[in-house]
Amino acid sequence: MTMLPENPSAKKLGLVIDLDICVGCHACVVNCKEWNTGSEGAPLSDVNAYGAQQTGAWLNRIHTFEVTTDSTAQVVHFPKSCLHCTDAPCVTVCPTGASYKRVEDGIVLVNEDHCIGCGLCAWACPYGAREMDPVEQVMKKCTLCVDRIYNENLPEEDRVPACVRTCPTGARAFGDLGDPDSDVSQLVRERGGFDLMPEQQTSPVNKYLPPREKRHLIASDRASTEPEANSSKPDVEGFWGWVDSALAKLS
Amino acid sequence: MKTQPVINTQPKVSDEIRKTTCYMCACRCGINVHLKDGDIRYIEGNRDHPVNQGVLCAKGSAGIMQHNSPARLRAPLKRVGPRGSGQFEEISWDEALETASQWLGEVREKDPKKLAFFTGRDQSQALTGWWAQQYGTPNFAAHGGFCSVNMAAAGIYTLGGAFWEFGSPDWELTQLFMMFGVAEDHDSNPIKMGIGRLKNRGVRVISVNPVQTGYSAVADDWVSITPGTDGLLIQSLIYELLRTNQIDLEYLIRYTNAPWLVIDAPGTEKHGLFARNEDGDPQVLCQSTGQLMSYKAKGIKPNLTNSTTDHDGTRLVSVFSLMIDAWFSDQYAPEATESRTGVPASRVKQLAAELAQVAFEQEIEIPIEWTDWKGEKHQSMKGRPVSMHAMRGISAHSNGFQTCRALHILQLLLGSVDVPGGFRFKPPYPKSVDMHPKPAGHADSIKPGQPLSGAPLGYPRSPDDLLIDDEGRPVRIDKAFSWDAPLSAHGLMHMVISNAHAGDPYPVDVLFMYMANMAWNSSMNSAGVIEMLTDVDPENGDYKIPKLIYSDAYSSEMVAYADLVLPDTTYLERHDCISLLDRPICEPDAVADAIRWPVVELKRNVRGFQSVLLDLGARLGLPGMVDDNGAPKYRDYADYIVNHQRKPGVGPLAGFRGDGAAVGRGDPNSKQLDSYIENGGFWMHELPDAARYYKAQNADYQQFAVDMGFYDAPAPYLYQIYSEELQKFRLAAEGFGPKQPPEHLRERVRQCFTPLPEWYAPFEGDMVSESEFPIYALTQRPMAMYHSWGSQNPWLRQIHGHNPLFVSSEIAKQHAIHDGDWVWVRSHHGRIKVQAVVMHALNPNTVWTWNAIGKRKGAWQLDPDAPEATKGFLLNHLIHELLPERGDGLRWSNSDPITGQAAWYDLKVSIEKADPDDPGVYPEFPTIEAPGNLVKPASTVTYGVQFQKAKGERS
């Protein structure tokens, strides 16, 4: 059993993911893999890489599903990675202390040197956000690119997680969700950002922005209920009359 | 509590960053390749690059795996077993090049058209097309004919440019964005970036698409249309705009040919042509004087509505009045089209009302002075902020050309082409059809040992420009620019093997292909094509296609059918230029081009195809590729990129010319590539403010274009709502002129070549029995795989390892199909057995799948039991390159009758549940052997482990 920090910093780094504009392109997924497989710690390995049952360790995945009602069907793309929970059950369940939540910024990490690959943390995580590396048998998870965000070897604008840096639609934002005045906190307030599965009482730091209400400029019934709209016959004479008067106004 | 571990938050990322251009698809984004200990540590988007501005997609990020693919070819190969056996012997480059040049040389001296040279996803067409020209064969094209030529050609003939490379929405100013048939493929990062921006600005996004995937899923409005009816929906939108009197008359008068007068003399050879003056200028009726005047006359106010007569009493009518006659008619009323399009009339009315509301109630004006082509000064630039984008979904139908034209005309009626907030051209576009070459290769100009007089591909203006012989037979192997497909500006690559095999119009001696997987996903009727490639002439025992040279970087399905394999490099090992002479990467406000350069060391015995082509050209003594002494003129492709001049001062790259500071025009600069590398792999030059909009009619832009070397004198023009080019073909079909279509095509030309687009039903659906094949079947490219050169990539294949058939919930209900069921899908041509997944957000009468995920067993260094082969499939097996027989014994190409665009999306099928006790994909093909020198890959990939040593040193 591992303890969460007793006196955590107010800083809570995390991601804000906009479901309104995520098109499910997997850019974040693969760029994450690409960055992190070459990072400190075990590579994110792939087994049966060229064969059947190909699988590998990923820190971020996109789930695509349909939400249907009797009359509508909506495809939703849902990116999911570690949510860096304030009350992280993956940390408290860890028997070796390998899983921990950083005091200074709240990032949940795995100390691979102490990980025995027991998989309890993956079992405890209600989000399925941890993956066992199939080769090294150590637990892999989103590090929030801790080797990027403070890294002075990178230009300042690149000190964000790889998934944020690469996202083509701009559906991912990174920042301090513990600071109510930060850009990401404001975004969450403005857009009604929500916790994933709050009933699990994990207090996730990452937030999701819900799809915006669909914008319609004109109610679908207005155009069709205009008086003249019911006539399907073209009023060609009337049209030419309009052209003549419109042209007169032009000249 | 224990102290937490100390972690290294400051690792050195890489030893060096090299900036080049991605080639994981056709977007051509800028990438920063981080190198560490000689290996690729990381690839990210280049923030300064005009295309992707720092972002990078899944494919680009998986480039490490593509570059290190075990399917990379390693050395030139000579076939030693039967075709398709995969039995090859490694040979030296000397032997490979000698063999190739001997084969090619023999053909060139005998009859150069017996070489068919087709390059697939080639990004060097400015070179490959020139090479074909210098060789002297008209039989050249790249993959546009089976991709999106309808889009490109309709754009050129109508506006002088279409979408993607030609132009883009005004992302900053547009207030309504409407997409037609856009999956998440071409132009993918820019569209994704744009949609994100629009949604954050609160701009409404509409997607018309039978399938709700990526972009459609985030659109405010998803319009689930019946495949192949987009043109009909567009005509209904036009009808609604006319009915509600909401079109931009001033724009039509100023910027389009709507006021031009057309000869109304049915039954004569002049009917439907423009009424021209002695100088050949189309004329308009002057509003104030009532006289006929050239449309070019300064200060003239053309009449839009009245008919008149010319000096000999022939009636003349304006294009505008013909438009109204054609489109403001019962057949296009939303109530009349809803049953075919599946889009309810009320929805059509709403969409039209929204387009009009934004266009006419949210007019924007930016305070930039500009001068139009007649010299008239304007204080500001006015715009209607409605923008559109379309791609393969509307293009890959047999009615795609006219659909694309209709879409452009909808844009014009709204006054939203190349205006603030609308659709904007990217230089060197717009360029009217008149500024493009005509296709070279008339029968009498193909001579042994001689080059062609011009480029093989171009834009015909009339039947006179067709490449046909005196009997009207096609000159080209793919029958491009013949009556089969008169405006086939990109050729018909999908017909080459079929025609060569049939010897129709003639057999070929050598088939030479590059990056074109014709033995699999790039062909219709893949099994048939495999048979054609292996079919032997019983008389002499030779293959019917006697010699096949193929160049590819990877062990694709096609490699097994080659006699000689010229192995290409990966995109990180090569020089390339993304040239203004080819398919440009400019932005509306800037001219840009880019390079690739070898950012990692090449360690295999392979060579960049373009360097090989230049080597072959020199061995063959092709003009322009050898100097006066017959010695090679270019050391390699890099040398060509820097020193080749298409005309004095204009070469493949427009930046850093002359002394290094010249742009557009300038002498070759030996340090040019170094300058590109220093500049991040690309070059960009901004347009002056006054040139930013109305480019086709903007004097400032026209001068800019001349300065840049796009053309040599200003070439302003008006948009062509009415296409006189099409009418000329139609007149021929009506019996006028010396060039007459063959009888079996006459009626089709007459019906389809309408000078104003009119919708007709896609051919296949019209020809097969509706009761027998009631369902539409489509493919899309997945975002993570589009154009990404195979699914051997171990990362991407974990995302799309096999492709199910997505079946609409309505069809599923009708046939009691559930997720995972195996189903038989039949077309007029064949049947396949595949696994189904039920999808609700799908047109009720449609099934679809991801394209090109299915692989043949043994190809791409995948294990034979890989799901790509055991579950993945191609819809191609259901699609024939020919339409069903029509009762006259003839079968037409399954293509657009105007451009020859492969009509992939016309497919109609039936579906039934398969026996659950007999699962498995059908058809199955025997495993092909990988070329023997390829090493079977380790099953485990631990990329990045090589950087661990460095980690140990640090900690």
Of A6, A51, A102, the CB nearest to B939: A51
Distance CA B219, CA B176 (A): 11
Distance CA B258, CA A106 (A): 65
Q: Average of pLDDT values for A230-242?
A: 83
Determine contact, residues A130/A142, Cβ cutoff 8 Å: no
Is residue B790 in some structural domain?
A: yes
For B366, other C-beta atoms within 10 Å of its C-beta total 15
Is residue B843 in some structural domain?
A: yes
Give residue for tokens 């279509």. Answer: B741
Of A146, A214, A232, the CB nearest to B335: A232
List CB contacts of B265: < 8 A, sequence separation 6 or more. Answer: B271, B314, B315
Is residue B856 in some structural domain?
A: yes
Give residue for tokens 């006929």. Answer: B292
The distance of B738 to chain A (nearest Cα, Å) reads 39
A56 and B944: CB-CB below 8 Å? no
Query: Using a CB-CB distance cutoff of 8 angstroms, which residues of chain A are in contact with residue B192?
Result: 23, 25, 168-169
The A207-209 sheet, strands edge to edge:
A172-176, A13-18, A207-209
B214 and A77: CB-CB below 8 Å? yes
**Predicted local distance difference test score (pLDDT) of residue B790:** 63
The B308-309 sheet, strands edge to edge:
B261-263, B315-318, B308-309
Mutate to test the interface with B, among A18, A23, A108, A143 (most CBs of B within 10 A): A23
Residue B335 is encoded by which pair of tokens? 């109530």
A51 and B330: CB-CB below 8 Å? no
Sign of the torsion angle spanned by Cα atoms B41, B47, B51, B52: positive
B9 and A149: CB-CB below 8 Å? yes
Query: Using a CB-CB distance cutoff of 8 angstroms, which residues of chain B are in contact with residue A20?
Result: 199, 218
Which domain, by its residues, includes B788? 763-913
The distance of A199 to chain B (nearest Cα, Å) reads 28
Closest by Cα among B134, B139, B140 to B621:
B134
B809: domain CATH number? 2.40.40.20
Determine contact, residues B487/B401, Cβ cutoff 8 Å: yes
Which residues of chain B carry a pLDDT beneath 70? 1-2, 788-791, 949-955
CATH number for the domain whose boundaries are A13-47+54-209:
3.30.70.20
B214 and A24: CB-CB below 8 Å? yes
> A–B: how many Cβ contacts below 8 A?
300
For B659, other C-beta atoms within 10 Å of its C-beta total 10
Distance CA B203, CA B220 (A): 9
Is residue B465 in some structural domain?
A: no
Give residue for tokens 């022939």. Answer: B314
Give residue for tokens 């027989």. Answer: B885
Is residue B880 in some structural domain?
A: yes
Query: Using a CB-CB distance cutoff of 8 angstroms, which residues of chain B are in contact with residue A224?
Result: 345-346, 349-350
Distance CA B147, CA B494 (A): 10
**Predicted local distance difference test score (pLDDT) of residue A223:** 54
How do the residues of chain A divide into helix, strand and coil, expressed in percent and rounded to 5? 25, 20, 55
B468 DSSP 8-state letter: B
The answer to whether the bond into B437 is cis (omega within 30° of 0) is: no
A54 and B10: CB-CB below 8 Å? no
A38 and B947: CB-CB below 8 Å? yes
Q: Are strands B39-45 and B30-36 parallel, antiparallel or unpaired?
A: antiparallel
pLDDT score of A227 more than 60: no
Of A5, A21, A103, the CB nearest to B218: A21
Collapsing DSSP to helix, strand or coil, B80 comes out as coil
Distance CA B688, CA A155 (A): 31
The distance of A126 to chain B (nearest Cα, Å) reads 23
Mutate to test the interface with B, among A36, A191, A217, A249 (most CBs of B within 10 A): A217
Determine contact, residues B155/B166, Cβ cutoff 8 Å: yes
Element (H, E) at A213: none
Give residue for tokens 């009337």. Answer: A238
Percent of chain B whose pLDDT exceeds 90: 92
Query: Using a CB-CB distance cutoff of 8 angstroms, which residues of chain B are in contact with residue A150?
Result: 9-10
Q: Are strands B140-141 and B167-169 parallel, antiparallel or unpaired?
A: unpaired
DSSP for B789-818, please give it. S-S--TTHHHHSSS-PEEEEHHHHHHHT--
Nearest CA in chain B to A240: B305
Closest by Cα among B187, B171, B164 to B420:
B171
**Predicted local distance difference test score (pLDDT) of residue B791:** 64
Contact status of B324 with chain A (Cβ, < 8 Å): yes
Tell me, what amino acid is at B661?
A
Determine contact, residues B887/B770, Cβ cutoff 8 Å: no
Instruction: Give the residue extent of every domain in chain A.
Output: 13-47+54-209
pLDDT score of A220 more than 80: no
Distance CA B527, CA B518 (A): 10
Distance CA A147, CA B82 (A): 54
User: In the predicted model, what is the mean pLDDT of chain B?
Assistant: 95
**Predicted local distance difference test score (pLDDT) of residue B951:** 45
**Predicted local distance difference test score (pLDDT) of residue A228:** 53
**Predicted local distance difference test score (pLDDT) of residue A1:** 67
Query: Using a CB-CB distance cutoff of 8 angstroms, which residues of chain A are in contact with residue B189?
Result: 168
**Predicted local distance difference test score (pLDDT) of residue B955:** 38
The distance of B189 to chain A (nearest Cα, Å) reads 6
Q: Average of pLDDT values for A52-71?
A: 95
Element (H, E) at A247: helix A236-250
- pLDDT tens-digit profile of B736-789? 999 999 999 999 999 999 999 999 999 998 889 999 999 999 999 899 988 766
Distance CA A26, CA B783 (A): 8
Burial B135-150 (b: 16+ CB within 10 A, else e): bbbbbbbbbbbbbbbb
Residue B637 is encoded by which pair of tokens? 């492709």
Determine contact, residues B137/B164, Cβ cutoff 8 Å: no
Rg (CA), chain B: 28
A24 and B358: CB-CB below 8 Å? no
Contact status of B358 with chain A (Cβ, < 8 Å): yes
A21 and B200: CB-CB below 8 Å? yes
The distance of B756 to chain A (nearest Cα, Å) reads 18
User: In the predicted model, what is the mean pLDDT of chain A?
Assistant: 93
Closest by Cα among B91, B115, B80, B101 to B546:
B115
Collapsing DSSP to helix, strand or coil, B358 comes out as helix
B220 and A24: CB-CB below 8 Å? no
Determine contact, residues B420/B689, Cβ cutoff 8 Å: no
Residue B291 is encoded by which pair of tokens? 């006289």
Distance CA A207, CA A83 (A): 8
Is residue B906 in some structural domain?
A: yes
A21 and B55: CB-CB below 8 Å? no
For B211, other C-beta atoms within 10 Å of its C-beta total 27
Strand partners, B550: B513, B565
Distance CA B431, CA B448 (A): 34
**Predicted local distance difference test score (pLDDT) of residue A221:** 53
Tally of structural domains, chain B = 1
Query: Using a CB-CB distance cutoff of 8 angstroms, which residues of chain B are in contact with residue A51?
Result: 862-863, 865-866, 939
Of A29, A46, A150, the CB nearest to B58: A29
Query: Using a CB-CB distance cutoff of 8 angstroms, which residues of chain B are in contact with residue A241?
Result: none
Q: Average of pLDDT values for A209-237?
A: 71
Is residue B266 in some structural domain?
A: no
Tell me, what amino acid is at A15?
L
Of B64, B330, B784, the CB nearest to A25: B784
Residue B9 is encoded by which pair of tokens? 């938050």
Closest by Cα among A133, A226, A206 to B356:
A226
Question: The pTM is what?
Answer: 0.97
Is residue B835 in some structural domain?
A: yes
A50 and B939: CB-CB below 8 Å? yes
